[in-house]
Amino acid sequence: MTILDAKNDTWLRIIGFHGGRGMARNFMQLGFLPGNTARILRMAPFHGPLLVEVDGREIVIGRSIAGKIIVEELA
């Protein structure tokens, strides 16, 4: 599943990314490292951006980017 499939305030573990090495490098520079935890704080309506907490930092990402980040739900 991707971050887009998750619900607000759900803790997630980052597994990997869809896309090439350059895309993965960009995600990692933002803190989206495989194994890190993430949580959706807010999803803007009308296909707006997401506010995501990653490793204690708040980051705003667009839905097209969020759809490329593969995650799993933490129990």
pLDDT of residue 74: 95
pLDDT of residue 10: 92
User: pLDDT tens per residue, the chain (75 residues)?
Assistant: 999 999 999 999 999 999 888 888 888 888 899 999 999 999 999 999 999 999 899 999 999 999 999 999 997
Q: What is the CATH number of domain 3-73?
A: 2.30.30.90
Q: What are the structural domain ranges in the chain?
A: 3-73
Q: Which of 56, 53, 58, 57 is nearest to 71 (CA)?
A: 53
Please compute Rg for the chain using Cα positions. Answer: 11
**DSSP-assigned states of every residue in the chain:** -BGGGSPTT-EEEEEEESS-HHHHHHHHHTT--TT-EEEEEEE-TTT--EEEEETTEEEEE-HHHHTTEEEEE--
pLDDT of residue 25: 86
